[in-house]
Amino acid sequence: MREIVLDTETTGFEPEQGDRIVEIGCVELLNHMPTGRTYHQYINPERAMPDEALQVHGLGDDFLRDKPVFAKIGQEFLDFIGDARLVIHNASFDMKFLNAELSWMKLPTIPMNQALDTLAIARKRFPGSPASLDALCRRFNIDNTSRTLHGALLDSEILAEVYLELIGGRQPDFALATDQSQTSTTGPDVTWRATPRPKALPPRLTADEIAAHEAFLDKLGDEPLWRKEN
């Protein structure tokens, strides 16, 4: 199963009020595992950057002036994502902007049911707890110290790790072989690999559960298989 973890940066909150996308970042997963294939593009929004947005992502007018407009990269972006499921934190926000940009360019829009909202998953799994990307990084001990400003590709890389934890950790199926010829990027040459967890998660078994397991093994004789393996 192919999935695309996606994030955008914008000039504001409402495309219908003139706000535009200024950055798209994507990380490809295959069977819930990162392939190393990414898509990353800065975009000229063809308007001035509001100071409030600049404080969030740091992408100013001078930096974006020579970047391509969305019309130049829209089809390239669609070709990269294809019909893969899109994994997005607060999906309604990014999908609103993507479909506005695509519709303005007379390109096919993306069905809302193609997107999976990790914010909704986090709120359902941890009701009443903070569900921001930073809060989930703290919960899962994921290193996000490089996230001093929002960035679409960096946030997609971090979200990919968060998503894998939300669905139960990295558990690929038995089809471990991947086609290495598919690791080229569609946008600039950026590759990503999951980094080792800086701090192991705490054990989930209680002392009583461990004691009960040991008592069960005692009943199996002198050399039960589980003790040989451990």
* Catalytic annotation present for 57: no
Residues 40, 89, 150, 213: which is the catalytic one?
Answer: 150
DSSP H or E segment with residue 40: strand 33-42
Residues 6/81, Cβ–Cβ less than 8 Å: yes
Output DSSP code: residue 30. E
Residues 39/84, Cβ–Cβ less than 8 Å: no
Q: Residue length, the chain?
A: 230
Q: How many CA atoms lie within 13 A of 210 on its CB side?
A: 5
DSSP H or E segment with residue 117: strand 115-117
Distance of CA 123 to the CA centre of its chain: 16
d(CA 112, CA 88): 11
Catalytically active residues are 150
